[in-house]
């Protein structure tokens, strides 16, 4: 991966990890367009950069994280189980770009539905946390947005827009740590500690901060569903080009 490819992919990751359009799906597309083999190791590496973006963006939300820790654990369990059971099949699906259009359609359905899901604030409980967690486990598939599926699920169970946003990105922390642990050996073996990769990591971090700011504003202003139109169009385009 040369410097140009690294910068392009880092910008794509920083934007797509947080906006509800699927970072995995977009990384697959851009790696395909750049002549690179889709790599789950690269996805984990850049995802770690966006994890640092979350830490910085939510640095004042530590009390919220501690208060909801038990619900975060409950919501993380489905993803852990799915990953453990279907680990090798997930790797195979990740590198198969031909099925991306189908998964982009799933994201579209989630995001377009958010237009009708804004309700009064309801407190989180273990049942709602489990539902959100089940939707997050679906986002293991490339093309299914993690932020989109968890925010959709949060709104679906009655959380306010801000709580759905906060809880969604609290869930990113254990999910990213888990993925990092699973692929730690592969990351070392892939020799990601090169200049191009380090630059990509830094670019992803700063782009991710900007994307988080934009996402929160759009969610609170009830305009998140616009991205559902984008992923719908993207599903149609990728159906013909991949």
Residue 187: pLDDT band with limits 50, 70, 90? low
Instruction: Say yes or no to pLDDT of 189 above 60.
Output: no
**Number of alpha helices (DSSP H) and beta strands (DSSP E) in the chain:** 12, 0
The Cα–Cα gap between 94 and 143 comes to 9
State pTM to two decimals: 0.86
**Burial of 87 (C-beta count, 10 Å sphere; 0-12/13-18/19+):** exposed
The Cα–Cα gap between 191 and 197 comes to 9
At which residue do the structure tokens 């195979």 appear? 92
Give the tens place of pLDDT for each residue, 40-53.
677 778 888 998 99
Range of the domain at 147: 3-241
Q: Residue 209's pLDDT is what? A: 95
Radius of gyration of the CA atoms of the chain, in A = 17
Q: Lowest-pLDDT range, 63-72, 171-180, 229-238?
A: 171-180
| Residues 210-215, mean pLDDT to the nearest whole number | 94
How many other C-beta atoms are found inside a 10 Å radius of the C-beta of residue 163? 18
Q: Residue 148's pLDDT is what? A: 93
Give the tens place of pLDDT for each residue, 65-75.
999 999 999 99
The Cα–Cα gap between 33 and 36 comes to 8
- Name the DSSP class of 11: H
Identify which has the larger pLDDT, 109 or 178: 109
| Residues 20-34, mean pLDDT to the nearest whole number | 87
Which of the residue ranges 83-87, 120-124, 212-216 has the most confident prediction, judged by mean pLDDT? 212-216
Domain total in the chain: 1
Percent of the chain with pLDDT over 70: 90
Q: Residue 94's pLDDT is what? A: 63
Instruction: Say yes or no to pLDDT of 191 above 70.
Output: no
Please state, rounded to an integer, the average pLDDT across all residues of the chain.
87
Residue 214: pLDDT band with limits 50, 70, 90? very high
| Both tokens assigned to 87 | 């680990």
Q: Of 211, 201, 207, nearest to 45 (Cα)?
A: 201
Identify which has the larger pLDDT, 169 or 190: 169
Q: Residue 85's pLDDT is what? A: 81
């Amino acid at each position: 991966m040369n410097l140009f490819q690294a910068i392009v992919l880092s910008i794509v990751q920083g934007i797509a990890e947080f906006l509800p359009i699927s970072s995995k799906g977009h990384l697959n597309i851009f790696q395909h367009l750049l002549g690179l083999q889709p790599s789950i190791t690269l996805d984990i590496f850049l995802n770690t950069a966006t994890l640092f973006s979350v830490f910085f963006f939510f640095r004042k939300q530590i009390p919220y994280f501690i208060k909801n820790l038990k619900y975060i654990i409950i919501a993380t369990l489905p993803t852990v189980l799915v990953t453990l059971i279907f680990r090798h099949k997930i790797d195979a699906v990740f590198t198969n770009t031909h099925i991306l259009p189908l998964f982009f359609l799933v994201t579209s359905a989630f995001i377009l539905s958010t237009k009708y899901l804004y309700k009064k604030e309801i407190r989180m409980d273990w049942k709602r946390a489990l539902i959100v967690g089940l939707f997050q486990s679906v986002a293991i598939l490339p093309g299914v947005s993690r932020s989109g599926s968890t925010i959709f699920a949060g709104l679906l169970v009655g959380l306010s827009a801000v709580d759905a946003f906060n809880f969604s990105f609290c869930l990113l922390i254990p999910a990213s740590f888990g993925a990092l642990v699973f692929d730690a050996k592969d990351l070392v073996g892939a020799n990601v500690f090169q200049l191009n990769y380090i630059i990509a990591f830094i670019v992803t971090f700063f782009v991710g901060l900007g994307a988080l700011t934009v996402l929160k504003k759009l969610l609170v202003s009830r305009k998140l569903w616009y991205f559902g139109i984008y992923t719908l169009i993207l599903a149609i385009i990728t159906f013909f080009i991949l």
